[in-house]
Structure 1
Amino acid sequence: MPVEKHFIKQGIKRVQLETYLQNELSKAGYGGVDIKRVLTGTRVTIYVERPGMVIGKKGKSIKQLTDDLEQKFGLEKPQVEVVEIPKPELSGPIMAKHIAFALERGLSVRRVGQSMVRTIMGAGARGVEIVISGRIAGERSRSMRFYEGYLSKAGEPAQKLVSHGKAVAKLKPGIVGIKVSIMPPDVPLPGEIKIAEETTGTEKQPAGEKVEETKVKKAPEEGVGDGDAQA
């Protein structure tokens, strides 16, 4: 198989897996997956808001999920690890789902967008951008953008440091798409310089310790005298 087709096949399989996990774990607050090949098989780390719903009673749900990953997606000996997201407000996929649920309950787009921006920034994010597109006001499709703070939108920082999330809200006028991008706090940005503060004053020695002072005697300089030379 050519290299190009191999990468295309792997990309399609990854999209299918991502879609499957979003549908199956939507109630658990799905926040993303990390897949790595290890010596004993494939390590699958799933980030969710409520891990108990993924594990299930006596581990029944996670066993079924492991079997699906192996049979439907061909993962070799998958080892599933469920990790709880400490701050769901800083996860793009989770907040996108929250916005979709709020819109489906009938709340206005402007109210939901502004409220979510305050919630995300209140959790400590450096920046956030929310874009809601579709038939949100009248019959014509339009987009509304809500943003605050600093957000990398190009290059490697935008791909690796920003948490991106997408969701769909099914409203009476039609389908509405939601995109959320969140810049977490304290992320190292290229070109950002931090200057450490210089400590002043002498450090105190611990009690009970004696510091010996070594005196250095300066040697006399050669060739310097009163002009007399000895043979």
Structure 2
Amino acid sequence: MGQKVNPIGLRLGINRNWESRWFPAKANLVENIGEDYKIRAFLKRKLYYAGISQILVERTAKKLRVTVVAARPGIIIGKKGSDVDILKKELQDLIKKDVNINIKEERKAGSSAQLAAESVATQLEKRIAFRRAMKKVIQGAQKAGAKGIKVSVSGRLGGAEMARTEWYLEGRVPLHTLRAKIDYGFAEARTTYGNIGVKVWIFKGEVLQKGFQAEKNEDNAPAKKPRRTRRGK
């Protein structure tokens, strides 16, 4: 099961929080989901080169707050914050609501799966060899402290007639272990030969809760030595 489903969705509520944080009335559910989609699609398209790793949407009764986590926040903020004001106005025109925007820096850009996937896709669009692009991302993640990384590319690689899938794995990526903190990212490279899909899984270690901690302590406890029995003469 862990090999098939999205690893982020599988771990929601265990070691991963939701990116849309609101509790709507039943009548507003579809409208809110549609607004979230529009906000994310607009920001991803407009701020692609800022290196966006996460877009968090929070709602209260009267307010809507959008938090953008980016590797290069300076591109979004602009000179004296002028670009943020323009972005806020464009978002308000898009969804017809008052919006507050917060910009946060992604401090560990090398260990962000979404940024890694977008990096590979950008390199493929520049006609860099796919194996070289994959290895470069793997090295960057290892330097950032990742315990494991898997990169997969699918499509007409190198302009081949037949589409295929190739992947590299360094370290370990335990997809079935729910307490494993695994980040996942997907991006598409639009090349002259067609679209190439890029998927990245990054294992950042295990997040232990009380039950898991007790189990770990029990497993790590020193084994009791068996009592020796005296032999008869």
TM over 0.5: yes
Equivalent position of 2:194 in the other structure: 174
Equivalent position of 1:13 in the other structure: 35
How much has 1:157 moved relative to structure 2?
5.2
Identity among equivalent positions (%) equals 26
How much has 1:8 moved relative to structure 2?
4.6
Kindly indicate whether the alpha-carbon contact (under 8 Å) linking 2:63 and 2:99 is maintained by their aligned counterparts in 1: yes
Q: When you count helix as a share of all residues, which structure comes out higher?
A: 2
Provide the C-alpha distance between the structure 1 equivalents of 2:30 and 2:79, rounded to a whole number of angstroms. Answer: 38
1:140 pairs with one of 162, 170, 177: 162
Equivalent position of 1:224 in the other structure: none
2:171 pairs with one of 131, 149, 174: 149
Provide the C-alpha distance between the structure 2 equivalents of 1:163 and 1:119, rounded to a whole number of angstroms. Answer: 15
Write the mapping of 1:65-214 to structure 2, written as runs, cut at 5 A. Answer: 65-74=87-96, 76-137=97-158, 138-153=160-175, 161-185=181-205, 187-188=207-208, 191=212, 193-195=215-217
Kindly indicate whether the alpha-carbon contact (under 8 Å) linking 2:71 and 2:106 is maintained by their aligned counterparts in 1: yes
Task: Provide Cα deviations, 1:22-77, integer angstroms capped at 9, x if missing partner.
Answer: 11111111111111124661221110011111111222211121122222134x43
Kindly indicate whether the alpha-carbon contact (under 8 Å) linking 2:179 and 2:206 is maintained by their aligned counterparts in 1: no
Question: Which residue type is aligned with residue 120 of structure 1?
Answer: A
TM-score (norm 1): 0.71
Question: Which residue type is aligned with residue 179 of structure 1?
Answer: K
Please identify, of 14-23 and 55-64, the stretch whose mean Cα deviation from structure 2 is larger: 14-23
Kindly indicate whether the alpha-carbon contact (under 8 Å) linking 2:179 and 2:207 is maintained by their aligned counterparts in 1: no
Provide the C-alpha distance between the structure 1 equivalents of 2:34 and 2:113, rounded to a whole number of angstroms. Answer: 22
Equivalent position of 1:30 in the other structure: 52
Question: Which residue type is aligned with residue 63 of structure 2?
Answer: G
Aligned-partner SS, 1:165: strand
How much has 1:163 moved relative to structure 2?
2.2
Unaligned ranges ≥5, structure 2 = 1-24, 221-233
The 1:129/1:78 distance shift into structure 2, 3 A limit, reads: same
Aligned-partner SS, 1:95: helix
Compare relative contact order (CA 8 Å, sep 6+) and give the higher one, 1 or 2. 2
Provide the C-alpha distance between the structure 1 equivalents of 2:31 and 2:164, rounded to a whole number of angstroms. Answer: 34
Unaligned ranges ≥5, structure 1 = 198-231
Asked which structure has the greater CA Rg, the reply is 1
Aligned residue pairs total: 193
Provide the C-alpha distance between the structure 1 equivalents of 2:93 and 2:179, rounded to a whole number of angstroms. Answer: 35
Aligned-partner SS, 1:27: helix
Equivalent position of 1:61 in the other structure: 83
Provide the C-alpha distance between the structure 2 equivalents of 1:19 and 1:175, rounded to a whole number of angstroms. Answer: 19
Provide the C-alpha distance between the structure 2 equivalents of 1:186 and 1:22, rounded to a whole number of angstroms. Answer: 30
How much has 1:155 moved relative to structure 2?
8.0
